[in-house]
Structures are given as structure tokens and as C-alpha cells.
A and B are shown apart, each in its own frame.
Chain A
Amino acid sequence: MKTLICRFGLAKLLLALVVALAAAPSFAADLLQEIKDRGVFRVGMAESPPWQSPNPTSGQYEGFNVDLAQQVAKVLGVRLEIVPASWATIIPGLQASQYDAVFANLFATPERAVVVDFTEPYFTYGFHIVANAKSGPTSLDALNSSKVTFVGESGTVEESYPKELYPQANVRGVVTNDIAAWIGEVASGQADAAFIDPGTLKLLQLRSPALAKRINVLNGEDALVKPVGLAYAIRPGDQHFLNFLNTFIRDVVRTGENVKLRDKWFEELAKRK
């Protein structure tokens, strides 16, 4: 009889302990601790070479943000897991907890900041606006007219910025992730203009002079439009994890490693046949 009560009492004690442990961290969910406990750092990426994209031959993700994600995983002492997503679903996926953070060339816009927390920017970029050489608008001022059609991939700033800056113009969103395809639309006149970042424009001019010939660059590198920062995104509320990522990014920016890595990857892509 006594041993039974002892055993019953022990069970109650264990139960109380389990409940206490389960209840303890619930008032401040620490994503960082959770990642360390889990042993895996899950990162969502949308394809955008050379920032992050699968190598065509090997299928493994590589790029600027992959390198940085691997560094973060090493600091945390965990394995890195890349979860592929598309630009249209990358933020819903974060909200649905399919991954812990978005490590991609994601522009930190106020609209997005309503639903996610952004780190500090690791780069700031403005945009070129390119137009069809034969029939497109010839200057930045001519862009805000209902006769102009912009094209951009749906879910990206290339689609939302024209709507913001040139409200009179039409904007067509495309579903394909193929930059060459929708820039090709500007080259062939199916669309009149598009936003394009300097790195991608340089790649285009290098790899396809025939396409580059058919488009006009309306603003030079000294007059880039709508500068905005590239940053990483996490779900709102994880302050500790945000601080950690910011410390990491400040480090990368201060040492100039962000510029080094970017140049390395853009050169890689330019060289690749």
C-alpha cells in the first residue's frame, strides 16, 4: 500500500514538473533557443541568381545569401535547411512557420514590414528603369501615363514600385520567375517599361547584347530610382533573434564582406557559360 502511494505521488510530481517546464517559456517564445534545440535553421529562399538559386547542374542552392545563411547556421551551431519558395509565397510561408527566416534579396518595404520584422539592410539598391528602344517612353517623366505598361514578377517590388511611383501607368504582373522572359517583353515591345536592379542589368548587357540593344536605360547609375534596402525577414515579435541577426549583419557590412561576396557571386554568374 505504501509503495503504491509512493509511486502515485512520484507520478504526480513528474506530471507537475512536465507542466511547469512546458509552461515556463511560453510567455516569451525564444526562436533562437528553439532553433538551437531543434538543431536545424530553416531558411526560406526564392530563386534569384546570383543572390540565391539552385545551381543548374548540381541542383544545390548557392549564392550570396546561401553563404551568409551558412555562416549564421555555423554561429548557432546548427544545420542549415533551405526551403524553396516563390516570390509570391515567400512571405505567406514565413507567416505559416514553414521556415524561421527569409534569406533572400528581399527589399524591406513598409508594406511588407506590416506583416514581418526586417533586419537592418545589408545592401541598399536603387533601380534602373528600362524601356523599349523603338516605341517605349524616352524619359522618366513620360512614364506616368496610362499609355505605358510596366511589367514585373508578381510579388516583387518590380511590380509594386511602378504602381506606387507611376499610378497612371498600367502594371502587368507575370507569374514566371524567368527574368529574361519578362525583360524580353520590354525588348520586344509587349511591355513598355520595367524596373531592373543594376546588377541584373549589367548581367543582361553582358550575356545578351542582342536583348540589350532593344532596350533603353532611362536613368544612369547616378540617378537610380527608389533606393531601398535589402534585408532579411522574420516573423514579428522575436526580438532576441532579430538582435542576433542584426549583430551578424552589422558585422558583415562593417568588414565589407557584403561587397566582397556580392562581387564574387556576380562575377561567378557572368563567367558561367
Chain B
Amino acid sequence: MDFELVLRNSDALFDGVKVTLAIALVGAIIGIVFGSAICALRIGRLRLLRGMARGYILFFRITPEVILIFWAYYCIPLIFDASVSGFWAGSVVLGLIAAAYLAEIFRAGIEAVPKGQREAAESLGLRAFPKWTLVILPQALRLVIAPLVNYFSEFLKNTTLLSAIGVMDLSLQAYLLGGKTYQYISFLSAIAIIYFALIFPVTLYARRLEHRLGDRNALPRVAKASFFSRLKLPRGAA
């Protein structure tokens, strides 16, 4: 691997990292906002809205992401006679897809809150808004954070799909630089390491949250334990 070549082009690669993170940010925001909305519809009272939410979730979870992104970028501007940049088309689509997954995650979290909580709140005379914001959602949030962070690591990986429509994210930068210099291996190896450095900590954090917040049988907290001791690293069973 040619380190010098990679370092010489590190500006371009850094721009790519910025674009990747920007895509992740925009997508995450859209995903959380729309995901909450879809989840609200999904568990709501109106059957029609529930059905529509289910349809939305089904569609965006089943259709391959690349095809949706491709279609959104190349076909929607022609149909609607509006121009939208690759970054926005791709990020919005990723956000809409994330919304489908997050809606399900939120729903699982809310349904996992024991029914007794809801009944107790109602019997105390709380109306809908305080019941939700003071009782149900805080408890649901605890259960939701781990899968959320877990999905975020998948989401970071999905940002590479935008390279298919020409958004200059990290993977496309490396591909183009590789094509220009005919040194694909150097650049691809470099970005593999960068992506790993970005995504692996997220995965580790998700695993830590899983065992701290979700696992009833979690290891008891030791006062001065390090970050790593709280991870359940694999041990032989046989």
C-alpha cells in the first residue's frame, strides 16, 4: 500500500469524510423525525392511518436501498420538473428508509413498557399528554437507545450507497482517485480503515448500551471498571 500517495490526497479523502458525515446527520434527523411520526400513526387509533403506516414501513424496509436512491435521483426530477442535488435526494431517501426502521424500533420500545405503567398513570388521572411524556416515553427511551445506536452503524454503512448517484462521499472519492492514479488498492484500503474507525466505535457503544440498559441479567456495575470490561467479549462455552 502506498501511504505517501494516500497522504498526498488526504484533502480529497477528508472532504469525502465530511460529506459522509453530513449525509449521516441529515438522514438521521429525517429518520428520527419521520420515524416518530410514522410510529405515532402506527400505534394510533385510526385504522386507516395504522394501515398506511404499516404500508410505508413495509415498502421502505423491503425495497433495496440502492434502487430507491437511484430512482429518486434520476426519475423524480424528470417527473416533477424540479432539480434536486444528489446529496439531498440521497440523504432524504436514506432518512425515509431509516424512518421505517426507527418506527418499528420505537414501537417495540413503547410496547415493551409494562402495561401496568399506562394503567397506573391513567388511574392517577393523568391526561394523554403528561401520560406519554412523563411516564411512557422516558421508559421507552431507555429500551430504544441501544437498537437506535445499532441501526446508526448500519446507517453509516448505507451512506456509501450515495456514491452510485455521484455524491462525492468517501467511497466515491477513493474510487475516483484510484481510477486517476491506477492505484485502487491503496485508496480502498485506506478508506476501509477509515470506515472501520468510524463505524466500529458505534457498534461497540451499541453493545455496551445493550448490556447496560437492556439486559436484566447484566453484570453488576463495578466502581472503577473500564469501558472494555463492560463489554461481553466472546468466551468459549464448550
Chain A positions within 8 Å of B, measured between CB atoms, are 88-89, 91-92, 95, 135, 151, 154-155, 172-176, 181, 184-185, 187-190, 211
Contacts and interface: CB of A to CB of B under 8 A. Distances in A.
A184 B175 contact: no
Given A184-B78, A190-B77, A95 B182 contact: yes
B84 A175 contact: no
B182 A190 contact: no
Given A175-B163, A175-B175, A188-B83, A92 B78 contact: no
B39 to A, nearest CB: 33
Contacts of A92: 179, 182, 184
Nearest to B164: A175
30 contacts: A88-B175, A88-B179, A91-B182, A92-B179, A92-B182, A92-B184, A151-B166, A154-B176, A154-B179, A173-B166, A173-B176, A174-B165, A175-B163, A175-B166, A175-B172, A175-B175, A181-B74, A184-B74, A184-B77, A185-B77, A187-B78, A188-B77, A188-B81, A189-B82, A189-B83, A190-B73, A190-B83, A190-B84, A190-B86, A211-B78
Contacts of A88: 175, 179
A190 B167 CA distance: 12
A211 B77 CA distance: 12
A53 to B, nearest CB: 20
A167 B54 CA distance: 51
B189 interface: no
Interface string B70-99: 000110011001111110000000000000
A95 B182 CA distance: 10
Given A174-B165, A175-B166, 12 more contacts: A89-B179, A155-B179, A172-B166, A175-B163, A175-B172, A176-B165, A184-B77, A188-B83, A189-B82, A190-B77, A190-B85, A190-B86
Interface of B: 73-74, 77-78, 81-86, 163-166, 172, 175-176, 179, 182, 184
Contacts of B84: 190
Nearest to A95: B182
A211 B79 CA distance: 11
Contacts of B176: 154, 173
Considering residues B84, B86, B166, which has the most beta carbons from chain A within 10 angstroms of its beta carbon?
A: B166
A209 to B, nearest CB: 13
Contacts of B163: 175
A151 B168 CA distance: 13
A71 to B, nearest CB: 31
A185 B83 CA distance: 8
Nearest to B74: A181
Nearest to A174: B166
Nearest to A86: B179
Contacts of B164: 175-176
A174 B83 CA distance: 17
Contacts of B184: 92
A173 B82 CA distance: 21
A174 to B, nearest CB: 4
Contacts of A135: 83
